[in-house]
Structure 1
């Protein structure tokens, strides 16, 4: 009886070996690299902003709110205007990195209202950030400012595509506005 035990164990293990070898074969069929998704310009925003409202230090970071007072939306996939009433909530870390969470609304040229939640980061060398804070126009190539906007839209309307895609934004801060170039990730 002991003589048959290893053989029985082996027979019970055969399905597991078969599964493992199938998984290995499936893994071998996977491509070395997945395709790099293309970026397609969807729209450009010029978001008008008010004076920052300083909240002070909260849990070790400087907090502030920057009112959004209006703006424009132009582009191949969407046109319209940025509505007043949104804001950009920022947490400025000790290293100068701005952890950004902007919330605002867009009125598309057809009258549809779209909600935007736009988190991201802005950072760079301290002298460059100081120039931006002073209201100077600074070359956007000198600092990092990227966001990942998400859109809340009617799922059955002409702008439903905004609620089904990922977007990446490159941005620049100016004295009275922020420029956002928003790309759809294909």
Structure 2
């Protein structure tokens, strides 16, 4: 399945136009006919004028794995917020930052981008560079010591990618990445 606007036609673009109109009205903070019409016109202009590259998505949403992804992401947000606060409030402490290279298992631009976004949203880490041809992320870690070391920081990124693939990836994409879905699948693979 492709999410490319040219292949899905106006049935996909009208959703984008409505969404852009809503964002436009929210930015102005006032629901008026002028804002609505301007939002619709800008939405049509953006969707017609700015063609996006095709996104190849063959997976589907797996509700339990999605809940695991979201729950663990929320936990990471809270934990990392406390760690960054502790580093900031520690007197005369200089954090030992590092830029680490993480080779992702998936070769999809979609999963590379989504993994990079999830990692960047957690305080204390930010993506410095994403190299789509090699599937590598270069991640700046605020303090290697509070992150558990370089290898632990690298493993955290790989774990985030694995949770994402299990949440929305297809079985074929999981197999290509060397992963399995759920406990039962791991038991079968171990035999």
TM range (shorter): under 0.3
Q: Which has the higher contact order (CA 8 A, sep 6+)?
A: 2
Q: TM-score of the superposition, structure 1-length normalised?
A: 0.22
Specify which structure has the higher proportion of helix.
Answer: 2
Specify which structure has the higher proportion of strand.
Answer: 1
Larger Cα Rg: Structure 1 or Structure 2? Answer: 1
Q: TM-score of the superposition, structure 2-length normalised?
A: 0.22
